[in-house]
């Protein structure tokens, strides 16, 4: 089935089309490129030598050929000018990518754009002539969105709703492509600014929190308790945590303490929250600069994972989720899921993201269900976290990347000769930005933080997960000073 992207020059049809084709495993066709290949000339030469009418005829010929392609197809801005073309486009899924002229003017140059040969400001005339024709098609307003946010917005128009349950006895997890759209008739939605900016069209009157770690504090807890009291929320009502791990941690804590526990439903929207934070029933807020020092255990009543939300994440945040999932693979043994698919992971291929989420849910919950209150085996999930947390506190680098650095450091210290060391390190090196991966931290600084770690049992004794080999991670009691 062809999916056509139409819109003004500079609206992102080609850039977004290529990203979408990688995400969806579909072919990508650019009609302008096909015209240039067929004519063996640049577009402005075709215009100059043969005129616009000739160009439009070739364009129609190629458009007709694409009708049987299962592809993402980017079109030239003027394709909608001909009635014949509009009729073809109307038979298929065609999306109009709208970006205001003021933004387009900043983006485009005039090279190989024959219609702008008299200057960029001609764009206003072109828009005025075409806008009504574009409006015949499904419009996606991309004015406030970056590349990945725009890609996600388009995916919600392309993908079909699909849902399945990930079966386990510990926690109810529903995997639902486009699940976030179900929030349209729900009350008591708590979300973050960015999530509201991108997905707010699905929320009625949400409670909007700032972005990031700073929301996990006692002041927000008080404000939300007051909000719930004012709105007469009681045990039969549900509250919805819609966002990354910071939102699910905060709302999980509120849900477990308000009226001694009310119905709590999570829609985790970052990969890290889908593969880790929303699973297993731990929640926490920070206090006096101590991370996760106040919290409870309460398994949320439902977790709905919509994998499409991952696509709109900033690269760094996306990779944080990949690292936490890779940690689970080192524990479980299934690192080939990651090593064999590194290119697809980098291109955010949806099938591989879905496989990684499903694998992570299964693996994390199978560990957590054996030790729900974190007294024993669940602690192996702290792999990379002892050094990772210290690194995070010292450098301020975000959690997931710090855990990646921590895994590398812990391998160097505790398992320099393990069998699959190179495979693990090569993968981390591909994923973590070079300056972070190779960052050296003063050993005394590290020592200071590690000796205050929650996992210290007595003096310098710490229980720490140590990799024997991939698929065999063991909790060991060690004297940390023997290694630092």
Ligand X SMILES: NC(=O)c1ccc[n+]([C@@H]2O[C@H](COP(=O)([O-])OP(=O)(O)OC[C@H]3O[C@@H](n4cnc5c(N)ncnc54)[C@H](O)[C@@H]3O)[C@@H](O)[C@H]2O)c1
Write out the residues near ligand X by the rule CB under 6 A.
192, 194-195, 198, 211-213, 216, 243-247, 249, 269-270, 272-273, 276-277, 280, 282-283, 292, 309, 312-313, 317, 320, 399-400
Question: How far lies 466's CA from each of 36, 325, 374, 438, 445, in Å?
Answer: 58, 17, 17, 21, 22
Least distance from ligand X to the Cβ atom of residue 190, Å: 12
Least distance from ligand X to the Cβ atom of residue 365, Å: 12
Nearer to ligand X, 14 or 283 (CB): 283
Contacts 24+ apart (CB under 8 A), 32-39: 32/74, 32/75, 32/76, 34/62, 35/59, 35/62, 35/76, 38/62
Least distance from ligand X to the Cβ atom of residue 9, Å: 27
Least distance from ligand X to the Cβ atom of residue 249, Å: 5
Nearer to ligand X, 96 or 318 (CB): 318
Nearer to ligand X, 150 or 312 (CB): 312
- Strand ranges for 145-216 from DSSP E: 162-166, 173-177, 189-192, 207-209
Nearer to ligand X, 38 or 293 (CB): 293
Residues forming beta bridges with residue 27, ordered by sequence position: 71
CA–CA separation, 469 and 411 (whole Å): 10
67, two tokens = 């009708």
Residues forming beta bridges with residue 207, ordered by sequence position: 190
Least distance from ligand X to the Cβ atom of residue 246, Å: 4
Least distance from ligand X to the Cβ atom of residue 314, Å: 6
CA–CA separation, 291 and 33 (whole Å): 53
Nearer to ligand X, 26 or 399 (CB): 399
Nearer to ligand X, 17 or 400 (CB): 400
| DSSP letter for each residue of 385-432 | HHHHHHHHHHH---HHHHHHHHHHHHHHHH-TT-TTHHHHHHHHHHHS
Nearer to ligand X, 213 or 430 (CB): 213
CA dihedral (376, 464, 393, 444) positive or negative: positive
Given a contact cutoff of 8 angstroms between Cβ atoms, the answer to whether 14 and 43 are in contact is no
Nearer to ligand X, 150 or 313 (CB): 313
Q: Which residue has the tokens 């980017």?
A: 74
Least distance from ligand X to the Cβ atom of residue 57, Å: 43
Least distance from ligand X to the Cβ atom of residue 302, Å: 16
Least distance from ligand X to the Cβ atom of residue 320, Å: 5
Q: How do 290-297 and 302-305 pair as beta strands? A: unpaired
Nearer to ligand X, 204 or 290 (CB): 290
Given a contact cutoff of 8 angstroms between Cβ atoms, the answer to whether 310 and 353 are in contact is yes
What lies within 8 Å, CB to CB, of 373 at 6+ separation is: 297
456, two tokens = 């210290």
Nearer to ligand X, 60 or 398 (CB): 398
Least distance from ligand X to the Cβ atom of residue 194, Å: 4
Strands of 173-177's sheet, edge to edge?
162-166, 173-177, 302-305, 263-268, 238-243, 189-192, 207-209
Nearer to ligand X, 5 or 247 (CB): 247
CA–CA separation, 32 and 9 (whole Å): 11
Residue 191 main-chain phi, psi, to 5 deg = -150, 175
């Amino acid at each position: 089935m062809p999916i056509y992207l139409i819109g003004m020059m500079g609206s992102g049809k080609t850039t977004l089309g290529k990203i979408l084709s990688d995400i969806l495993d579909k072919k990508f066709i650019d009609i302008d490129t096909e015209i240039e290949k067929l004519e063996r000339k640049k577009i402005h030469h075709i215009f100059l030598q043969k005129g616009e009418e000739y160009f439009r005829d070739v364009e129609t010929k190629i458009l007709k050929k694409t009708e049987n392609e299962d592809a993402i197809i980017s079109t030239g801005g003027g394709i909608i000018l001909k009635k014949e073309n509009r009729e073809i486009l109307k038979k298929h899924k065609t999306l109009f990518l709208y970006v205001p002229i003021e933004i387009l003017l900043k983006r485009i140059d005039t090279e190989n754009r024959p219609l702008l040969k008299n200057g960029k400001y001609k764009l206003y005339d072109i828009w005025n002539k075409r806008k009504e024709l574009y409006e015949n098609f499904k419009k996606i307003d991309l004015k406030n969105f970056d590349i990945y946010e725009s890609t996600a917005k388009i995916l919600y128009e392309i993908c079909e709703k699909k849902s399945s349950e990930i079966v386990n006895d510990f926690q109810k997890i529903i995997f639902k492509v486009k699940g976030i759209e179900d929030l349209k008739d729900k009350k008591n939605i708590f979300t973050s600014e960015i999530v509201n900016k991108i997905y707010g069209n699905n929320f009625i009157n949400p409670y909007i929190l700032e972005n990031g770690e700073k929301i996990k504090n006692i002041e927000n807890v008080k404000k939300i308790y007051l909000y719930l009291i004012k709105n007469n929320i009681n045990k039969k009502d549900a509250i919805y945590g819609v966002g990354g791990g910071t939102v699910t941690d905060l709302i999980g804590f509120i849900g477990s303490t308000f009226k001694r526990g009310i119905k709590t439903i999570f829609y985790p929207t970052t990969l890290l929250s889908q593969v880790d934070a929303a699973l297993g029933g731990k929640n926490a807020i920070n206090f006096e600069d101590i991370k996760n020092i106040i919290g409870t255990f309460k398994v949320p009543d439902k977790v709905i994972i919509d994998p499409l939300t991952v696509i709109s994440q900033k690269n760094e945040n996306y990779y944080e989720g990949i690292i936490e999932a890779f940690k689970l693979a080192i524990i479980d043994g299934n690192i080939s899921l990651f090593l064999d698919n590194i290119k697809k992971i980098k291109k955010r291929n949806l099938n591989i993201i879905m496989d990684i989420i499903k694998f992570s849910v299964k693996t994390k919950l199978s560990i957590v269900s054996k030790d729900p209150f974190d007294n024993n085996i669940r602690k192996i999930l702290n792999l990379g976290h002892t050094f990772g947390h210290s690194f995070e506190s010292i450098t301020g680098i975000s959690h997931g990347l710090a855990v990646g650095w921590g895994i590398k450091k812990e391998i160097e210290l505790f398992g320099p000769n393990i069998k699959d060391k190179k495979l693990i390190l090569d993968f981390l090196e591909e994923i973590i930005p070079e300056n972070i991966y190779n960052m050296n931290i003063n050993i005394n600084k590290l020592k200071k933080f590690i000796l205050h770690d929650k996992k210290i049992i007595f003096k310098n004794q710490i229980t720490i997960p140590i990799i024997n080999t991939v698929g065999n991670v063991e909790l060991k009691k060690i004297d940390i000073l023997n290694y630092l």
